[in-house]
């Protein structure tokens, strides 16, 4: 075991050693800080969970106290109505002699309490209706003697009795509407023509008022409040219809045995907190139900918020640690990066001078060395550019004298032959040829000008070699404004004439095609001349042609090849396809570059 621990510690040490100083500082500080935050958050969440449950119980109890207070006030008002009827109306009057006065006072009392009352009625002991407010008639089949409230009042004459909610079907309904009511009944003494006899006072209160009070209790989206008798019979439930139809059950029998306060229970696989409060006047129990799942949902939201805060704080601490570790290790890292940049690109140097004196001194020395190397490399590049330009100019000068000599030679031949009009046309074409050739001293011209230059040359040669060959020139309009170095097509056309058309008679053909493929330009110069053997092809490509003809010595091909590679790079240049008796095709390969105005 000890050996395993040693190996583990060694592995961790090597891991941090390979990662460097900044990673070690950052990971150590962050690990300690985040661990502390997580432990504090977990402990706080535990305490928060317990506090939330206790607050839920306290809130439920306070809510039930408020419901109890409102219902007690409701019942108290009902009891007040009952006492007023009995002690101030019935006790002071005779139901036989003061019938109209009793009815008037009952009507006034009903009007004053109409918001909570449905009916006030006085019955004799034999069930005969004496007075009622509002004045209603008993239904023909009504029998008060069989009503539970009537029986309970006569059985216990000293008590006030409350019934469960029932439909008020004793009287003929007003507006054809039956109301749910809770009945308060009591035994009373009635003065009937001077004789005292027993009777029953009935006060029906609107059940909707009690329902509204219960519904106003806020127990969450899934919680609710219901009322029941001490023996577990429901008085009110917000889902009464579902319970009556058997679609839902309520744990009333268990709740009837609960004392006042909060209790945990599991009913139909659902954990919930049940809070019980007993009413004073009636003995009814007010029961508040809060599903634990809803409390946990609220708790989860709060936990999510706290964990989010913890994560944000952890990220903030990570950022602070990152800044501190960078400030400690950044000077050394900058030196390391600077050396790596020098290996890749000597021109990408930016070394901040910071840190201790020794590191600052090393940074300054490194920067001095880098700037010295940059200056030396710039001098070398400048010298190479100058040499390249001189080589281009030298190669350019090889073409113009060569072509001028051949053209003047042809012009002299035409004059000696008496072909003066052809000579005039040739001299005019020669002037146009040299105007484009000079190009105001520019080495870069448009492809359109280069091909116009070739066309002038072909006009000259067509006059000289009359009826010996035809030429066809085609160009893709989209590349006419492409940039090219000048005098790269004409030397190759010249070679096609001297090495191909010179052997033809009225069957010679030269085709010049300029087109674009992908991102490059291709110019094909094709003739149907005698072609070349493999050995001639090799000599042409190596720049050592052995032709004995004075015309077309082969300098044109090597000149163009060298200038293209010198200007555009080794990826571009010339390709030759030729077979004996099959003709020759020379293909110029250039990059597509739009001509810049005023550029060279």
CATH number, domain with residue 235: 3.30.450.20
Is it the case that residue 358 has pLDDT exceeding 80?
Answer: no
Instruction: Give the whole-angstrom CA distance, residue 169 versus residue 178.
Output: 7
Block residue for tokens 């105007």: 435
- Residue 517 pLDDT class (50, 70, 90 cuts): very high
Give the three-state DSSP class for 426.
Answer: helix
How would you class 62 by CB atoms within 10 Å of its CB: exposed for 0-12, middle for 13-18, buried for 19 or more? Answer: exposed
Residue that wins the pLDDT comparison between 287 and 393:
287
Residues 109 and 249 both lie in one domain? yes
If one counts the domains in the chain, the total is 2
Q: pLDDT at position 175, please?
A: 67
- Residue 364 pLDDT class (50, 70, 90 cuts): confident
Q: What number is the average pLDDT over the span 30-52?
A: 80
- Residue 130 pLDDT class (50, 70, 90 cuts): confident
Dihedral angle computed from the Cα positions of residues 493, 496, 497 and 503, in that order, rounded to the nearest 10 degrees: -170
Q: What number is the average pLDDT over the span 539-549?
A: 65
Is it the case that residue 553 has pLDDT exceeding 50?
Answer: no
Q: Write down which residue in 309, 329, 349 finishes a domain.
A: 329
Q: pLDDT at position 414, please?
A: 74
Residues 325 and 438 both lie in one domain? no
Q: Which residues contact 331 (CB under 8 A, 6 or more apart)?
A: 352, 354, 355, 356, 359, 360, 363
Percent of the chain whose pLDDT exceeds 70: 86
Residues 176 and 63 both lie in one domain? yes
Residues 100 and 242 both lie in one domain? yes
In a domain, 335, yes or no: no
- Residue 577 pLDDT class (50, 70, 90 cuts): very high
Backbone torsions φ then ψ of 275, nearest 5 degrees: -115, 135
Is it the case that residue 18 has pLDDT exceeding 60?
Answer: no
In a domain, 341, yes or no: no
Q: Domain containing 495: what range?
A: 381-591
In a domain, 435, yes or no: yes
In a domain, 203, yes or no: yes
Q: pLDDT at position 390, please?
A: 59
Residue that wins the pLDDT comparison between 571 and 322:
571
Q: Strand 261-267 relative to strand 583-591: parallel, antiparallel, unpaired?
A: unpaired
Lowest-confidence range among 116-120, 462-466, 505-509, 549-553?
A: 549-553
Most confidently predicted of 278-292, 324-338, 339-353: 278-292
- Residue 479 pLDDT class (50, 70, 90 cuts): very high
Instruction: Give the whole-angstrom CA distance, residue 87 versus residue 108.
Output: 16
Q: What number is the average pLDDT over the span 467-471?
A: 82
For 143-159, how does the pLDDT look when each residue is reduced to its tens digit (9 = 90+)?
888 888 899 888 888 88
In a domain, 357, yes or no: no
Is it the case that residue 548 has pLDDT exceeding 80?
Answer: no
Q: Write down which residue in 311, 329, 347 finishes a domain.
A: 329
Q: pLDDT at position 402, please?
A: 60
Q: What number is the average pLDDT over the span 581-595?
A: 92
Q: What number is the average pLDDT over the span 41-65?
A: 80
In a domain, 363, yes or no: no
Is it the case that residue 13 has pLDDT exceeding 70?
Answer: no
Give the three-state DSSP class for 163.
Answer: coil
Residues 125 and 55 both lie in one domain? yes
Is it the case that residue 64 has pLDDT exceeding 80?
Answer: yes
Q: pLDDT at position 523, please?
A: 96
Residues 453 and 537 both lie in one domain? yes
Q: pLDDT at position 480, please?
A: 92
Residues 63 and 210 both lie in one domain? yes
Q: What number is the average pLDDT over the span 480-505?
A: 84
For 405-458, how does the pLDDT look when each residue is reduced to its tens digit (9 = 90+)?
767 777 787 788 877 777 787 788 778 777 766 655 577 889 998 898 888 888
Residues 275 and 181 both lie in one domain? yes
**Full 3-state SS string of 130-162:** EEEECCCCECCCCCHHHCHHHHHHHHCCCCEEE
Cα torsion 583, 588, 592, 598: sign: negative
- Domain holding 435: CATH number? 3.30.565.10
What mean pLDDT value characterizes the chain? Answer: 80
Q: Write down which residue in 269, 301, 329 finishes a domain.
A: 329
Residues 115 and 254 both lie in one domain? yes
The answer to whether residues 478 and 516 touch, using CB atoms and an 8 Å cutoff, is yes
Residues 322 and 389 both lie in one domain? no
For 213-231, how does the pLDDT look when each residue is reduced to its tens digit (9 = 90+)?
777 777 777 888 888 888 8
Q: Of how many residues is the chain composed?
A: 600
Q: CA dist 389 to 563, 582, 592, Å?
A: 10, 39, 21
For the whole model, what pTM was predicted? 0.45
Residues 110 and 252 both lie in one domain? yes
Q: pLDDT at position 552, please?
A: 46
Residue that wins the pLDDT comparison between 252 and 322:
252
Dihedral angle computed from the Cα positions of residues 493, 499, 504 and 507, in that order, rounded to the nearest 10 degrees: -30
Instruction: Give the whole-angstrom CA distance, residue 527 versus residue 584.
Output: 6
In a domain, 348, yes or no: no
Residues 315 and 388 both lie in one domain? no
């Amino acid at each position: 075991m000890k050996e395993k621990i040693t190996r583990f510690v060694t592995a961790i040490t090597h891991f941090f050693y390979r990662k460097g100083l900044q990673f070690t500082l950052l990971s150590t500080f962050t690990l300690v800080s985040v661990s502390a935050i997580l432990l504090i958050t977990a402990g706080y969440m535990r305490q928060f969970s317990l506090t939330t449950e206790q607050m839920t119980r306290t809130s439920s109890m306070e809510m039930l106290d408020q419901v109890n207070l409102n219902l007690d006030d409701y019942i108290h008002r009902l009891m007040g109505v009952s006492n007023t009827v009995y002690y101030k109306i019935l006790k002071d009057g005779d139901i036989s002699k003061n019938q109209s006065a009793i009815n008037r006072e009952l009507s006034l009392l009903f009007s004053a309490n109409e918001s909570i009352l449905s009916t006030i009625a006085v019955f004799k002991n034999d069930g005969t209706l004496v007075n009622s407010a509002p004045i209603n008639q008993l239904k023909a089949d009504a029998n008060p003697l069989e009503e539970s409230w009537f029986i309970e009042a006569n059985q216990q004459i000293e008590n006030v009795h409350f019934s469960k909610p029932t439909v008020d079907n004793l009287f003929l309904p007003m507006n054809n509407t039956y109301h749910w009511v809770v009945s308060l009944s009591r035994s009373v003494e009635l003065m009937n023509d001077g004789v005292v006899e027993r009777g029953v006072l009935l006060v029906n209160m609107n059940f909707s008022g009690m329902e509204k009070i219960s519904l106003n209790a806020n127990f969450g989206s899934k919680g609710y409040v219901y009322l029941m008798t001490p023996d577990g019979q429901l008085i009110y439930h917000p889902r009464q219809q579902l319970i009556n139809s058997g679609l839902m059950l309520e744990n009333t029998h268990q709740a009837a045995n609960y004392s006042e306060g909060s209790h945990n229970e599991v009913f139909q696989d659902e954990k919930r907190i049940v809070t019980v409060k007993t009413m004073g006047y009636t003995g009814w129990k007010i029961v508040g139900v809060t599903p634990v799942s809803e409390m946990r949902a609220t708790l989860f939201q709060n936990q999510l918020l706290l964990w989010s805060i913890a994560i944000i704080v952890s990220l903030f601490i990570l950022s602070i640690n990152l800044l501190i570790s960078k400030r400690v290790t950044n000077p050394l890292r900058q030196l390391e990066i600077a050396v790596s940049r020098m290996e890749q690109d000597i021109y990408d140097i930016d070394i901040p001078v910071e840190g201790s004196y020794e590191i600052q001194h090393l940074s300054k020395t490194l920067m001095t060395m880098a700037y010295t190397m940059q200056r030396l490399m710039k001098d070398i590049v400048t010298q190479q550019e100058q040499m390249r330009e001189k080589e281009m100019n030298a190669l350019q000068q090889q073409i113009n004298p060569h072509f001028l000599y051949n053209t003047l030679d042809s012009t002299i031949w035409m004059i000696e032959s008496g072909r003066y009009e052809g000579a005039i046309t040739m001299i005019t074409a020669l002037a146009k040829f040299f105007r484009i050739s000079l190009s105001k001293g520019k080495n870069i011209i448009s492809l359109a000008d280069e091909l116009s230059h070739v066309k002038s040359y072909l006009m000259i040669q067509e006059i000289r070699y009359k009826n010996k060959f035809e030429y066809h020139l085609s160009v893709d309009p989209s590349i006419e404004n492409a940039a090219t170095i000048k005098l790269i097509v004409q030397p190759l056309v010249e070679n096609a004439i001297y090495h191909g058309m010179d052997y033809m008679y009225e069957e010679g053909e030269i085709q010049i095609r300029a087109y674009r493929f992908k991102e490059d330009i291709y110019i094909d110069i094709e003739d149907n001349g005698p072609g070349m053997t493999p050995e001639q092809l090799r000599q042409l490509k190596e720049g050592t042609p052995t032709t004995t003809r004075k015309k077309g010595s082969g300098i044109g091909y090597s000149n163009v090849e060298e200038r293209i590679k010198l200007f555009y790079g080794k990826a571009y240049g010339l390709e030759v396809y030729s077979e004996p008796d099959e003709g020759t095709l020379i293909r110029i390969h250039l990059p597509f570059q739009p001509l810049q105005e005023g550029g060279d």
